[in-house]
Amino acid sequence: MKTNFSTGSKTLSALMLSAGVLFAPAVLGLAPMAQAASTVAGLPDFADMVDKVGPAVVNIRTTERVKLSQGGAGAQPGEEEMQEFLRRFFGGAVPTPRNPGQAPRGRRGTPQQQGDEVQRGVGSGFITSPDGYVLTNAHVVDGADEVYVTLTDKREFKAKVLGADARTDVALLKIDGAKLPSLTIGDSDKIRVGEWVVAIGSPFNLENTVTAGIISAKSRDTGEYLPLIQSDVAVNPGNSGGPLINMRGEVIGINSQIATLSGGYNGISFAVPIDEAMRVADQLKKSGKVTRGRIGVQIGELSKEVAESLGLKGSQGAEVTLVEPGGPADKGGVKAGDIILKFNGVQINRSSDLPRLVGGTALGSKAVVTVWRKGAQLDLPVTVVELEADKTAKAGGPAEKAKPEMAAFNALGFKVSDLTAAQRKETQLDGGVVVDATEGTAAKAGLRQGDILLQLNNVEIKDAKQFNALVAKLDPKKAHVVLVRRGDVAQFIPLRPVTK
């Protein structure tokens, strides 16, 4: 009996029943095999792309000159270097039996002489132009006396470090060559979560190793001045400084860090976005350093609770906790306790957005800072100045102790008094009250004697009498915020009144 499977009158069950079960495996296997073939055909093939871009990815090894200690032995890697390895786990790894492939610092039994060149670490990089500019991580070349770049065709060049920026972990090298293979620079702003990416580098000194994965997240806040690209591409010691490449063969990032508890790959790796890396590289090429702007404020994250108490609909913005005396923000009228909502019209979603925006603004340019103050929005003018290296705001000492006023604790747990004339002169405050003692909710929040209270919700505190009257009218079912100044730093603290 001849039966057409697509048009025959018999069902598959009837056919199996009449023809025997020997037909079942062959017939039933058709659909899964076709489906599997379709799935396999849909997977990405990286081979052609890797053939194209691989020659532009380089191995970077660094060396240092032996500095003999008083005992005459060569310097040994210390605990600080090991901690850096565990944190970055890429270049500059400590050679141990658990770290195969890492070149030793010197042959065993061979005495090291003062000035001898010994291996320091191994990393990766990539050529960005045919005339020999190479990008890598700053921590790969940090502290190295000499840097060597090796291509896949085994040509080796001694590289010059044009500059390195620790804040973004980007370094620019130059090697003497012409018509060198180079990579195409992509657009990291256009990447999408879930797209395939490839990392090429020298993990454990195994040159031109290729690993693949997907972008797990964008704008991951782990850097001071830039959000990083998160992926699940396998990266290991030696991958640092190598390119993260999309399916079009374009560089979209520089592999820089991982999240790990052991120092090994754990499924989460981070890359510096190539857009930011190229901006840094341009400055390093021109001047050997990176200049950034600042406006002279110290900021903190704005919590949802504080935002609601101040009448803001969302928790977007940066809370100003300190204003540098005489700095651009101070001259422009920015005050501690202000919530910065926008910088030059660009919304501040997280506090980390502000230093990135300010840092990328041309020095000497005028900018407008939009702040939220006492229930109203203000536009304040500031002039961007240069961010000095290691510029940190200094907090002052505790406020002068005021004479305690014999009064009961209010519903927020404060006993306060007016500032003395000396305190007003020292702090340059026209209003506010000084905390004489705390209990209950205020004490639990860490507030203490000597703190100065400047604002309750959106109302400026003028004196102790007014402050206690305001507290007495607070809704005990809601949280409220007080602007607390300790030394030179001011911060909103949410508190809930306690009824007695």
For the annotated binding site for substrate, the residues are 139, 169, 238-240
Q: Are 348 and 318 in contact (CB under 8 A)?
A: yes
DSSP letter for 65, please.
E
Q: Which residues of 230-268 are buried (b: 16+ CB within 10 A; e: fewer)?
A: bbbbbbbbbbbbbbbbbeebbbbbbbbbbebeebebeeb
Closest among 161, 128, 130, 134 to 251, alpha carbons compared: 128
Q: Where are the beta strands (DSSP E) in 102-239?
A: 117-127, 133-136, 146-150, 156-165, 170-174, 184-185, 196-201, 209-220, 228-231
Amino acid identity, residue 265?
Y
DSSP code string of 74-115: PP---HHHHHHHHHH-SSSPPP-TTSTTPPPSS-TTPPPPTT
Angle at 164 (CA atoms; ends 238, 101), nearest 5 degrees: 15
Q: State the Cα–Cα distance between residues 188 and 218, nearest whole angstrom.
A: 9
For tokens 């700053």, the residue is 138
Q: Catalytic site residues?
A: 139, 169, 240
- The two tokens of residue 308 are 């609601």
CA Rg, the chain, in Å?
31
* Residues 6 or more apart in contact with residue 107 via CB below 8 angstroms: none
Biggest alpha carbon distance in the chain?
A: 112
Q: Are 75 and 66 in contact (CB under 8 A)?
A: yes
Closest among 370, 309, 313 to 338, alpha carbons compared: 370
Amino acid identity, residue 216?
S
- The two tokens of residue 350 are 């997280």
Q: State the Cα–Cα distance between residues 92 and 62, nearest whole angstrom.
A: 8
